């Protein structure tokens, strides 16, 4: 069973997150300090860390740096009250894989956890933390997208959607699946949010990279010249 470690010193929040994750089939352990988190990770068996930055004994950035300095590539989702752009950038540059500000919706946290836990498909080429497909490159650590040699700015939701496509190149992804994995809620026949965001990606990355499969969803294709 997938084991998620929650480093959070607010007992109420830790219990809420742990209960929600267990309800979706994950095993959880909650610890209130950075020291305990590092010790638990070192003991092994942890598949993902949900990390608060404002821990009592040490700053969450220190936990991140210690993890990465030890060579561990454990996925880390930061969950914090610090929501400034400066803190977000600092968290990602310190080694976080994702960053969520409090207050938060559990459904969105669950969607991000699922994304980080998914293994990279054999169909997609990856170099370290960079997903590559045709002319597209997505750096998971720095959260940068490139088309050929041009860097493209993506919003957090656009990035999550692009990552889902990049991890499943050539597969037809239904609107239901994209809603569940990127937005974290069940399919609503009246919602067109997936279509709207695919349109955003087409505008930014090039329409030639995305095929529409009528009545089903979308597929990422290799648009290399």
Q: What is the pLDDT of residue 122?
A: 37
Beta strands in the chain (DSSP E): 3-7, 27-31, 48-51, 76-80, 98-101, 125-127, 130-133, 136-139, 144-147, 150-152, 172-174, 210-213, 217-220
Domain final residue, candidates 82, 117, 152: 117
Cα 8 to Cα 26: distance, rounded to the nearest angstrom:
17
Q: What is the pLDDT of residue 211?
A: 95
In which residue ranges of the chain is pLDDT below 70?
82-95, 118-128, 184-190, 225
Determine phi and psi for 151, rounding to 5 degrees. Answer: -80, 135
Kindly tell me the sign of the dihedral angle through the C-alpha atoms of 133, 219, 204, 196: negative
Q: What is the pLDDT of residue 225?
A: 55
Omega of the bond prior to 103 within 30 degrees of 0, cis?
yes
For the chain, the domain total comes to: 2
Cα 88 to Cα 189: distance, rounded to the nearest angstrom:
34
Do residues 69 and 23 share a domain?
yes
Q: What is the pLDDT of residue 23?
A: 86
Do residues 108 and 137 share a domain?
no
Of all helices (H) and strands (E), which one includes residue 115?
helix 106-117
Cα 30 to Cα 143: distance, rounded to the nearest angstrom:
27
* pTM, 2 dp: 0.56
Cα 88 to Cα 94: distance, rounded to the nearest angstrom:
10
- Identify the CATH number of the domain in which residue 10 sits: 3.40.50.2300
Domain final residue, candidates 71, 100, 117: 117
Q: What is the pLDDT of residue 88?
A: 57
* DSSP class of 206: -
Q: What is the pLDDT of residue 215?
A: 86
Do residues 113 and 139 share a domain?
no
Cα 116 to Cα 145: distance, rounded to the nearest angstrom:
17
Do residues 69 and 14 share a domain?
yes
Q: What is the pLDDT of residue 119?
A: 44
Cα 2 to Cα 4: distance, rounded to the nearest angstrom:
7
Q: What is the pLDDT of residue 188?
A: 56
Do residues 140 and 208 share a domain?
yes
Q: In DSSP terms, which residues pair with 50 in a beta bridge?
A: 6, 77
Cα 161 to Cα 191: distance, rounded to the nearest angstrom:
16
Domain span including residue 47: 3-117
The first and second tokens of residue 211, run together, are 């095929």
């Amino acid at each position: 069973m997938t084991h998620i470690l929650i480093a959070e010193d607010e007992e109420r929040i830790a219990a809420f997150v742990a209960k929600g994750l267990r309800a979706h089939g994950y095993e959880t352990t909650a610890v209130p300090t950075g020291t305990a988190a590092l010790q638990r990770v070192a003991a092994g068996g942890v598949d993902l860390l949900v990390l608060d930055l404002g821990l009592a004994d040490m700053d969450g950035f220190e936990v991140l740096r210690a993890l990465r300095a030890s060579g561990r590539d454990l996925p880390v989702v930061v969950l914090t009250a610090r929501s400034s752009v400066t803190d977000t950038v600092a968290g990602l540059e310190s080694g976080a894989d994702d960053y969520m500000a409090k207050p938060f919706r559990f459904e969105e946290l669950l969607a991000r956890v699922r994304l980080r836990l998914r293994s990279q498909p054999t169909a997609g080429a990856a170099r370290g933390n960079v997903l590559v497909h045709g002319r597209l490159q997505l750096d998971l650590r720095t959260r940068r997208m490139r088309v050929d040699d041009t860097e493209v700015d993506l919003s957090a939701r656009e990035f999550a959607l692009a990552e889902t496509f990049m991890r499943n190149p050539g597969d037809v992804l239904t609107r239901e699946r994209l809603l569940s994995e990127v937005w974290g809620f069940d399919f609503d026949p009246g919602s067109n949010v997936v279509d709207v965001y695919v349109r955003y990606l087409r505008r930014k990355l090039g329409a030639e990279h995305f095929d529409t499969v009528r009545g089903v969803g979308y597929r990422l294709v290799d648009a290399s010249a």
